[in-house]
Amino acid sequence: MLPWEPSTEPDPALAAAVRSTSLGKLVRDDVLGMILRGEIRAGERINEPDVASRLGVSRVPVREALRELESSGLVEARKHSGVFVRKLGAAEVRDLYELRALLDGFAGRRAAELPGPAREPLADALDASVGRMQDAARSDNVSAYYSENLRFHWLMVEAAGNAALAESYRHLTQKLHLSRLTNLSRGLGMQASVADHRAIAAALRAGDARRCEQLVADHVQRAHERLAAHEDSQQG
């Protein structure tokens, strides 16, 4: 399971978690899961009493959790109105994609630099991921494609072996998720994206670190260009 992809099933051990885990962290993870699954959409208000009642906690840990989510840029507090899931503007989405291109490119280069015995299993996993993306694209299953796309990139981030990179990438992807959730039904450029991923996997298998880095960065940039062009056409 990906770090930003919480389970869609309720946790049967919730009561035990309440006893053994910081209440603020428990509430944060619960609300974060609802946001990332699209159960609370961008621009919607988070109902604090409902969250507290559902988890059986007071309003104090709920407010603590929402302050933490606000500091990470996922929600925003509006005076006299409450706390809302953020709706990202075009400029912020652009900036996030630019940063993601750098992080993804670095991860791709580091992964391609792995010695053969470590690189081969990763290359096999990436090829399998590309196959699942292709299947999803053929069946026009945008949600499955999107999830597999995230998994492909996370495999390289993990393989890079840099904890700071992984943490930064996790937070970045969670923020971009706010924007991407509104575009899942559009399936923008899935076939072109599959071709990009196939080329990236081939460069990694060959151990061509420079080419892998460039392919990944270009792929992320093109993904943003497709998204921005679509948004412009919708507004025009």
Q: Are residues 73 and 31 in the same domain?
A: yes
Q: Are residues 36 and 125 in the same domain?
A: no
Q: Is residue 37 part of a domain?
A: yes
What pLDDT score was predicted for residue 226? 81
Q: Are residues 156 and 129 in the same domain?
A: yes
Q: Are residues 143 and 64 in the same domain?
A: no
Q: Is residue 2 part of a domain?
A: no
Q: Are residues 140 and 38 in the same domain?
A: no
What pLDDT score was predicted for residue 203? 98
* Pairing label, strands 82-85, 45-46: antiparallel
Distance CA 221, CA 233 (A): 18
Q: Are residues 210 and 125 in the same domain?
A: yes
Please report, for the domain that includes residue 21, its CATH number.
1.10.10.10
* Amino acid letter, residue 122: L
Q: Are residues 121 and 212 in the same domain?
A: yes
Ordered DSSP codes for 91-123: HHHHHHHHHHHHHHHHHHHHHHTS-HHHHHHHH
| Nearest partner of 92 among 234, 219, 224, judged by Cα | 224
Q: Are residues 19 and 57 in the same domain?
A: yes
**What is the token pair recorded at 137?**
């694209």
What pLDDT score was predicted for residue 11? 52
| Nearest partner of 84 among 119, 43, 122, 115, judged by Cα | 43
Planar angle of CA 146, 152, 157, nearest 5 degrees: 125
For residue 29, give its domain range.
14-85
> Could you list the pLDDT tens digit for every one of the 236 residues in the chain?
455 554 444 455 544 544 445 888 889 999 998 888 778 888 999 999 999 999 999 999 999 999 999 998 899 999 989 999 998 888 999 999 999 999 999 999 999 999 999 999 999 999 999 999 999 999 988 888 988 999 999 999 999 999 999 999 999 998 888 776 655 545 567 888 999 999 999 999 999 999 999 999 999 999 888 878 766 665 65
Distance CA 47, CA 27 (A): 13
Q: Is residue 144 part of a domain?
A: yes
Q: Are residues 49 and 134 in the same domain?
A: no
What pLDDT score was predicted for residue 7? 43
End of a domain among 24, 50, 85? 85
